[in-house]
C-alpha cells in the first residue's frame, strides 16, 4: 500500500512538473504571438507579462490540478491571465482562436474577466488587490447562504486568491483582514507569488516576517514556502547550514541580480562570502554552474513537491496565507532582471526556449507539443481526472418572486430616505407570499451607518447575521433603545466597519451569489452619499463583474446642511451617469421611492439588468397628490411631467430630487408670466442620457432609430423653448438636456464644496432656492 501511494505521489509530481512547463510555454507564446507575430495596425506594443506568468506557473499547476476541488473558486492575479487561459486551453475549454487574439478585439482579455472572457472566470481581477479581498467577502456570502439553508455545508468551497506580493501594498487588503477577523472568516486561501519584484523596483527586505505577524494577528495560519526540495537536501549536507544562512541574509535585489547573471556569478559571490566556511567549498564544487544556478533558484514556489505538501497540510476551514517564494521570469532569459515586469522575450529568445522544450517550429500552439505520444496521452488523462475537469458550469439562479407593487408609506410629508426605510420594514413584516419571498432574499449591509440611513427598522425585524449567537445586552438589561438588534444565523443584515471599500466588495460578493452559488440574493446597501467616492474603485469593480445590488446613497447634496462640506455630495450624480452596469435614480416623492425600489428588484434579476443606485434625502417634503398611475411608466423610464406644459410652451423647469419644494414655489410665481410653463420631474438623468445617446448612435451602429424618452418628453415644448435645470448636485448632470432639441439652458446646481448652515441659508448661498430658479428663468428670456 505504501509503495502504491509513493508511486501515485511520484506520478502526480511528474505530471504537475510537466504541466508547469506547458503553462510557462503557452503563456509565453500567447504574449509573444500578440506582440511579434500578429500584425499590429497601430504600431503599438500589445503588452503582456511573460515574467509575471512564469513566476506562478508551478503554483497554478499544483493548485488547479491537485488541490482545487469543484466547489472552490479562484481569483487569479491580473498579470497571470495568460496562464489561466493556458490551463483552459489544456482542458479544452479555451480555443486557439481566442489565444491568438489575446488582447485583441473579441479575444482573450488582458486580465481575467467574468463578463468578457469565454472561459469560466470566478472573479474578474483587473483591479489590482480587489480580486484578493473579494474572495474573503465571497466566503462570508457562502457562510450566509449556509446559515440560511440555501447551501449545504458539505458543499462549502474555498475562496482562493492568487496574488503578487506587490498587491500586499494595497490598503484594501488590510481593511479586509480586519473585517474578516470580526466576522470569523473561514474557507479562504491567499497564495502570494512572492517574487519580490514590482513594476518599478525590487521589494523591501524589511517586510520579511512582517506579513506573517499581520496575518497571524488576524487569526490566519501562515505557511512560508521559501526553499524547494533540492535546496532543503543541500542544507542537510556538510556546509549546508552556511548556505541556508547566506540565502536568508541575502538582499532581495542581490538575489535578483545573481539570478539574472547565472551560475558563474552565483559561484563567485558565494565563494567570496562563505567559501572559507567549513565544507562550503566542497559543497559548491559538487555542482557545475548550471546545476548551481538551478539549486539557488529552487525556491518553494517553484517546487511542485513543496507546493502540494503545503496545500495538503491546510485541508481545513482556517484562513491560510501561503507565502511562496518565487523568481519573476523563472525559466526564462528575463529571470531576475529588474525591468522584466513589462519586458518580453525577443524572437531569438523564444526560439531558444521552444527548442529547449523539443517543440517543433509550427507546433507552438499544440497543447502537448514536444512530448512523446505516450507522455502526451498520460498527461491528457491526468488533466481529465482533475477536479477542475469535472467542474460544472455556473448555475442559473431561479428568479425571486416579486409582488405586483410595493406599498407606499403614508404621510403628508416624508423624506425619500424615510420612505425607503418604511418600504423595507413593510416588506420585512409582510405576510403576503410574494412580499415575504422577496423579503427573505433581501440582505442589507452598511459601513457603520445602519441606523442613520433608515435600515434600523429592517434590522429590528430581521436581525443581524452572525454565525454565532449575539444577544442584545442593552435589551436584556431593559435599557430603552430604538435598536433592538440581536445577532443570529437567520439574521439578514451584515454590519460592516466604516471602510467603504469593504462595503462595496461585500455588495459585489452578495450580488454574485446567484452565479456563484445558485441562489439569488437581493443585496441592499446604504452609505452616506458623499462617501460613495471613498469606495469608487470597488464599486467600479463590482459593476465590471456584473454584480447585482441596490445601492442607496443618502442624504444627497447640501441637505445634510449642518454637517458641513465634507458630508455634502456634489459629484455622485455624475458617477451614477458615468458608471457602466449601474442605473442611477433620484426620486423626489415617497411613491416614486416605492415604485423605483420595485423596479430595481426586478432589474437586479433581469438577464439584461444590472445594479441600481438610489440617491435619497433626509429632507421631508410635502407629497404630491396623484390622480392616477399614468405617471409611473414614464418615471421608470427616467422622467415625467409633474406639471404638463400646455400649448406651445416656451419654457420648463427640469428638476431632480429634493429641490422640488423650491421648484414648485418658483412654478407658482412664473406660471402667470410664462404661458404653458411645464415642470419635468427627472427620476433618472442616467436613463434619459443613455436613451438619447443610443438614439444618436443608431445612425452609425445600424440599429433602427427610435425616439428616446427625453426627446418624447421635450416634444411637448415649443421648438426653441428654454429650460431651467435644477438639482442638489453637479449641474452637469442635467444641463445637457438643452442639447436634445437645441434649447437654451440655465443650469442650477452645486459645483463647489459646501459649508455648515441650515438648508434655507445654503440653498440661497449656492443658488438653489426659489429666487434663484426665478432668476434663471428670467435669464432665458432676458439674455
The grid coordinates listed for 564 are 458641513
Confidence of residue 379 (pLDDT cuts 50, 70, 90): very high
- Asked if 421 contacts 458 with a C-beta cutoff of 8 angstroms, the reply is yes
pLDDT at residue 321 in the model: 97
Is the peptide bond prior to 555 cis by the omega test (within 30 degrees of 0)?
A: yes
Query: Whats the size of the chain, residue-wise?
Result: 783
The pLDDT assigned to 201 comes to 60
For residue 702, give every residue at least 6 positions away whose Cβ sits within 8 Å of its Cβ, in sequence order, or none.
none
pLDDT over 60 at 199, yes or no: no
Grade residue 198 by pLDDT with cuts at 50, 70 and 90. low
* Grid cell 452645486 in the structure block, residue: 750
Q: What is the mean pLDDT of the chain?
A: 93
Listed in sequence order, the residues at least 6 apart from 642 whose beta carbon sits closer than 8 Å to its beta carbon are 624, 631, 660, 679, 680, 681
- Stated pTM of the model: 0.94
Tell whether the model's pLDDT for residue 207 goes beyond 70.
Answer: no
Mean pLDDT computed over 536-540: 95
Helix (H), strand (E), coil (C) string for 688-711: HHHHHHHHHHHHHHCCCCCCCHHH
* pLDDT tens sequence across 489-535: 899 999 999 999 999 999 999 999 999 999 999 999 999 999 999 99
Q: Who has greater pLDDT, 697 or 290?
A: 290
Q: Name the strands in the sheet holding 320-325, side by side, starting at the edge strand that comes first in the sequence.
A: 73-75, 159-164, 188-194, 320-325, 221-225
pLDDT at 352 over 90: yes
What CA–CA distances, in Å, run from 78 to 46, 125, 443, 535? Answer: 16, 5, 30, 20
pLDDT in the model for residue 481: 65
pLDDT band at 342 (very low <50, low <70, confident <90, very high): confident
Instruction: Look at residue 205 in the predicted model and tell me its pLDDT.
Output: 62
Distance CA 44, CA 24 (A): 25
Q: Which three cell numbers stand for residue 341?
A: 515586469
Q: The C-alpha cell of 487 is what? A: 445577532
pLDDT at 5 over 90: no
Q: What is the predicted pLDDT for the residue at 647? A: 85
pLDDT at 557: 87
Which run of H or E residues covers position 217?
Answer: helix 210-217
Contact indicator for 162, 193 with CB cutoff of 8 Å: yes
Amino acid at each position: 500500500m505504501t509503495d502504491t501511494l509513493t508511486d501515485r505521489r511520484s506520478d502526480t509530481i511528474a505530471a504537475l512538473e510537466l504541466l508547469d512547463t506547458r503553462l510557462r510555454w503557452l503563456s509565453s507564446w500567447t504574449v509573444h504571438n500578440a506582440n511579434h507575430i500578429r500584425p499590429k495596425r497601430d504600431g503599438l506594443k500589445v503588452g503582456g507579462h511573460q515574467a509575471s506568468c512564469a513566476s506562478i506557473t508551478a503554483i497554478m499547476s499544483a493548485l488547479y490540478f491537485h488541490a482545487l476541488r469543484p466547489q472552490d473558486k479562484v481569483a487569479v492575479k491580473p498579470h497571470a491571465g495568460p496562464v489561466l487561459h493556458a490551463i483552459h486551453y489544456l482542458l479544452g475549454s479555451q480555443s486557439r482562436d481566442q489565444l491568438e487574439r489575446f488582447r485583441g478585439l473579441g479575444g482573450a482579455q488582458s486580465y481575467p474577466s467574468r463578463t468578457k472572457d469565454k472561459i469560466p472566470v470566478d472573479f474578474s481581477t483587473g483591479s489590482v488587490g480587489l480580486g484578493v479581498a473579494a474572495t474573503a467577502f465571497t466566503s462570508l456570502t457562502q457562510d450566509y447562504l449556509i446559515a440560511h439553508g440555501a447551501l449545504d455545508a458539505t458543499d462549502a468551497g474555498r475562496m482562493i486568491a492568487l496574488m503578487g506580493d506587490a498587491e500586499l501594498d494595497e490598503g484594501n487588503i488590510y481593511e479586509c483582514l480586519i473585517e474578516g477577523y470580526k466576522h470569523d472568516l473561514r474557507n479562504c486561501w491567499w497564495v502570494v507569488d512572492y517574487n519580490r519584484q514590482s513594476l518599478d523596483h525590487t521589494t523591501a527586505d524589511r517586510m520579511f516576517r512582517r506579513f506573517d505577524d499581520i496575518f497571524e494577528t488576524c487569526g490566519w495560519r501562515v505557511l512560508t514556502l521559501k526553499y524547494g526540495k533540492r535546496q532543503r537536501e543541500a542544507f542537510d549536507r556538510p556546509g549546508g547550514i552556511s548556505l541556508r544562512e547566506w540565502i536568508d541574509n541575502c538582499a532581495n535585489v542581490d538575489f535578483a541580480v545573481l539570478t539574472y547573471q547565472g551560475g558563474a556569478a552565483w559561484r563567485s559571490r558565494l565563494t567570496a562570502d562563505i567559501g572559507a566556511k567549513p565544507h562550503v567549498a566542497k559543497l559548491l564544487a559538487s555542482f557545475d554552474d548550471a546545476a548551481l544556478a538551478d539549486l539557488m533558484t529552487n525556491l518553494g514556489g517553484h517546487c511542485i513537491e513543496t507546493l502540494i505538501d503545503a496545500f495538503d497540510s491546510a485541508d481545513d476551514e482556517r484562513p491560510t496565507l501561503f507565502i511562496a517564494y518565487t523568481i519573476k521570469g523563472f525559466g526564462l532569459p528575463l529571470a531576475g532582471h529588474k525591468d522584466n515586469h513589462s519586458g518580453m522575450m525577443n524572437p531569438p529568445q523564444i526560439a531558444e526556449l521552444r527548442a529547449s522544450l523539443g517543440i517543433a517550429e509550427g507546433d507552438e500552439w499544440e497543447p502537448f507539443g514536444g512530448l512523446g505520444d505516450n507522455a502526451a496521452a498520460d498527461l491528457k488523462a491526468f488533466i481529465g481526472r482533475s477536479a477542475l475537469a469535472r467542474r460544472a458550469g455556473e448555475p442559473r439562479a431561479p428568479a425571486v418572486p416579486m409582488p405586483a407593487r410595493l406599498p407606499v408609506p403614508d404621510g403628508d410629508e416624508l423624506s425619500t430616505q424615510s420612505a425607503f426605510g418604511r418600504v423595507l420594514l413593510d416588506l420585512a413584516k409582510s405576510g403576503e407570499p410574494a412580499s415575504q419571498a422577496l423579503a427573505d432574499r433581501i440582505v442589507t449591509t452598511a459601513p457603520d451607518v445602519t441606523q442613520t440611513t433608515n435600515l434600523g427598522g429592517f434590522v429590528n425585524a430581521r436581525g443581524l447575521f452572525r454565525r454565532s449567537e449575539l444577544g442584545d445586552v442593552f435589551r436584556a438589561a431593559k435599557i430603552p433603545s430604538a435598536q433592538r438588534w440581536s445577532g443570529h444565523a437567520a439574521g439578514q443584515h451584515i454590519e460592516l466597519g466604516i471602510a467603504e471599500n469593504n462595503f462595496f466588495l461585500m455588495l459585489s460578493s452578495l450580488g454574485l451569489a446567484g452565479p456563484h452559488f445558485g441562489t439569488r440574493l437581493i443585496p441592499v446597501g446604504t452609505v452616506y452619499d458623499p462617501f460613495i467616492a471613498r469606495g469608487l474603485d470597488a464599486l467600479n469593480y463590482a459593476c465590471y463583474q456584473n454584480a447585482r445590488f441596490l445601492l442607496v446613497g443618502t442624504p444627497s447634496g447640501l441637505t445634510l446642511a449642518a454637517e458641513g462640506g465634507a458630508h455634502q455630495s456634489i459629484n455622485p450624480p455624475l458617477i451614477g451617469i458615468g458608471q457602466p452596469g449601474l442605473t442611477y435614480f433620484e426620486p423626489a416623492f415617497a411613491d416614486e421611492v416605492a415604485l423605483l425600489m420595485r423596479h430595481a428588484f426586478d432589474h437586479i434579476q433581469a438577464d439584461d439588468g444590472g445594479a441600481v443606485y438610489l440617491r435619497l434625502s433626509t429632507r421631508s417634503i410635502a407629497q404630491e397628490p396623484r390622480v392616477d398611475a399614468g405617471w409611473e411608466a414614464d418615471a421608470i423610464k427616467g422622467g415625467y411631467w409633474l406639471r404638463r406644459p400646455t400649448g406651445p410652451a416656451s419654457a420648463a423647469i427640469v428638476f431632480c430630487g429634493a429641490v422640488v419644494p423650491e421648484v414648485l414655489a418658483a412654478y407658482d410665481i412664473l406660471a402667470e408670466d410664462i404661458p404653458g410653463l411645464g415642470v419635468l420631474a427627472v427620476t433618472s438623468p442616467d436613463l434619459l442620457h443613455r436613451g438619447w445617446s443610443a438614439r444618436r448612435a443608431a445612425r452609425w451602429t445600424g440599429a433602427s432609430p427610435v425616439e428616446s424618452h427625453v426627446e418624447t418628453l421635450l416634444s411637448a415644448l415649443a421648438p426653441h423653448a428654454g429650460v431651467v435645470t435644477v438639482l442638489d448636485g453637479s449641474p452637469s448632470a442635467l444641463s445637457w438636456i438643452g442639447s436634445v432639441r437645441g434649447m437654451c439652458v440655465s443650469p442650477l446646481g452645486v459645483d463647489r464644496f459646501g459649508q455648515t448652515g441650515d438648508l434655507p441659508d445654503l440653498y440661497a448661498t449656492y443658488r438653489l432656492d426659489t429666487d434663484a430658479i426665478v432668476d434663471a428663468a428670467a435669464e432665458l428670456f432676458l439674455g
